[in-house]
Structure 1
């Protein structure tokens, strides 16, 4: 009887993910042999956050090396669990199109990205299950964030599959990028909550709840800018402007915003089937550049406010990340999109999301009840070091 779907590659990918995840799990267990469950979960959360950050960077590397279709099916590679098992199919595709989307190097890049993603998913599953089991014994163990992370990593996996099956559809690829940053944010909050449950953050100087509206506003600007940056990258619009501060030698070059931001369409085409005009690519690039000015001003302003409030360390973090994004963003334009600068630019955006999300978590009113230091009454702009 004919089967509806061959589940063999799925099970093999899951097994590979578990094998890769066994390394971080063993490392945490050995490093925290005498620690309690909460301490182990907190350590595993931090390690998973680090690995997810690496995964986001490797995802950017996969996209920027045009390896997103290195294996044109999902989750395996031509039905195999690795490019080794798909050697004949990859060789045939590479012989037909030597510079096409399917080559041996691109297939390995794509599959390594999937292996890492599966391992991260396995780690998140372990944390969710252990949290549920241990919650019966220790009521301080949070359940919401581990299970939200598990739910979201499943959603993110679906977007990863659609990225391949829908042939790098720009809207799907951009949402996949935003989903990766959302997973980073969830894991960052999870690490903070486990740390608070174990009392690890009680000695640290933290922000008060009155900073939250400003942090939310700044995070919103950053996320919007990341979405615009993802739209630039997925539409290959980085080189639409190769000079700075002007674009094509003009302060306001010819732009087609309506077609540039026609969201639901294939790569390089309009819904009508016409090729995406260059003026549309220019509009995509220039919108991201204009938004960058606003985000840069907001980061500098927030850093100045933090410094005046006696939070100099946090201010330096913001200023350093703002400088990083400025340098890497300019490098992408004037050096014509070098791979290192492009990946570093994605890393800076991810770091901003992690930093701002962590501050929002410790600035929550719950943090004050659990012993973290809250600031005196007054607006954030009037706070000073005690």
Structure 2
């Protein structure tokens, strides 16, 4: 692939990370319904600010209160997401037209499909008034797009991976850890979609943990005019948050196990360093989560927690990719 294409992939990865962070900030600042329509805002391409524009907005959407700050947060997120869509379309076109046998055409096609589906989820997030399943799907869609871009980046990058007979066993461990981490991210998305963060205070368990119940976890949000700020009962949200914390411990143990297996069986420094990075990131993520609870969920730290989750996922994908390469490279 050309140097220009490599730059485009790098730019797309950075832009996708920005979109994920902006999406998290939109949720955390309660700006998800800052614009009651999609893809514009009150029928305009930007947030209405002139008196005649505001009058039209109030006439067209009488049940919505125009809050410029929240509307701009939502629209900036949409602008970045739209820019990412354009870059992904360029990447798809270049890969499809490439004559190279190793061009990741399936990954490119999957990426384009995910971009289109993510746009639909973005629309449904607004039109269905932050329905939790849609909000969680939107979050996971952003992480999926970022992961696909990272895989394309790794496929088109040069690396010094050599064959290793133990790579197959380690790859299975890595994929198991990836499943554990994806579950943890999904739990975090469900927690965020139901505004469950403040319902579990205290460390390491909830101070009012006696309200926890497995049966309450089975409750799903009932139909409502809006799901902003959550509709589930207190004990259900507390239980969701506590399960997220418990699974975080499982995730840490899984990452420790992966690092141990890699160091015992793999002797290539690049793979060992990648596994060490994953272990460092997951320990830092747990520490950040504890600090967030201790300081009563400050928005910037919570935003950083979301960013770290994305970086941790990409780092683990990188380990699995390296192990997959070590398994396939010919002697």
Residues 318 and 90 of structure 1: is their aligned pair in 2 closer, same or farther, counting only changes over 3 Å? farther
Report matched runs for 1:154-169 at 5 Å.
Answer: 154-169=116-131
Quote the residue 1:295 is aligned against: 251
The structure number with the bigger radius of gyration is: 1
Return the alpha-carbon distance in structure 2 between the equivalents of residues 63 and 305 of structure 1.
Answer: 38
- Deviation, 1:62, is 0.7
> Which blocks of at least 5 consecutive residues in structure 1 are unaligned?
1-36, 375-386
Relative distance call for 1:239 and 1:159 in structure 2 (3 A) is same
Q: Is the 8 A contact 1:170 1:266 kept in 2?
A: no
Distance in 1 between residues matched to 2:32 and 2:16, nearest whole Å: 18
CA distance in 2 between partners of 1:366 and 1:205 (Å): 5
Match of 1:344 in 2: 304
Q: Residue 360 of structure 1: CA displacement?
A: 2.2
Partner of 1:276: 232
Q: Structure 1 residue 323 and structure 2 residue 287: aligned?
A: no
Deviation at 1:189, TM superposition (A): 1.0
Q: Decide whether the 8 Å contact of 1:131 with 1:146 is kept in 2.
A: yes
Query: What is the alpha-carbon distance in structure 2 between the residues aligned to residue 324 and residue 91 of structure 1?
Result: 45
The answer on whether the counterparts of 2:275 and 2:316 sit within 8 Å (CA) in structure 1 is no
SS at match of 2:211: coil
State the TM-score, normalized to the length of structure 1: 0.75
Question: Gaps spanning 5+ residues in structure 2: where?
Answer: none
Which residue is equivalent to 1:357?
A: 317
Aligned counterpart, 1:80 = 44
Q: How does 1:224-235 map to 2 (within 5 A)?
A: 224-235=183-194
CA distance in 2, matches of 1:101, 1:332: 31
RMSD after superposition? 2.8
User: Would you say 1:54 and 2:18 are equivalent positions?
Assistant: yes
Q: Distance in 1 between matches of 2:149 and 2:186?
A: 20
CA distance in 2, matches of 1:315, 1:139: 30
Alignment partner, residue 174 of structure 1: 136
TM value normalised by structure 2: 0.87
Alpha-carbon distance between aligned partners in 1 of 2:223 and 2:21, rounded to the nearest angstrom: 24
C-alpha distance in 1 between matches for 2:55 and 2:176? 49
Go from structure 1 to structure 2 and tell me whether the alpha carbon gap of 1:101 and 1:190 turns closer, same or farther (over 3 Å shift). farther
Aligned pair in 2 of structure 1 residues 224, 209: CA closer, same or farther (>3 Å)? Answer: same
Residue of structure 1 in register with 2:215 after alignment: 258
Aligned pair count? 319
Contact kept? 1:171, 1:263, Cα under 8 Å: no
> What SS does structure 2 have at the residue aligned with 1:282?
helix
Cα distance in 2 for partners of 1:360, 1:102 equals 46
Distance in 2, matches of 1:349 and 1:118, equals 23
Please say if residues 168 and 324 of structure 2, whose CA atoms lie closer than 8 Å, have aligned partners that are also in contact.
yes
Q: Distance in 1 between matches of 2:221 and 2:31?
A: 22
Give, in angstroms, the shift of residue 85 of structure 1.
Answer: 6.4
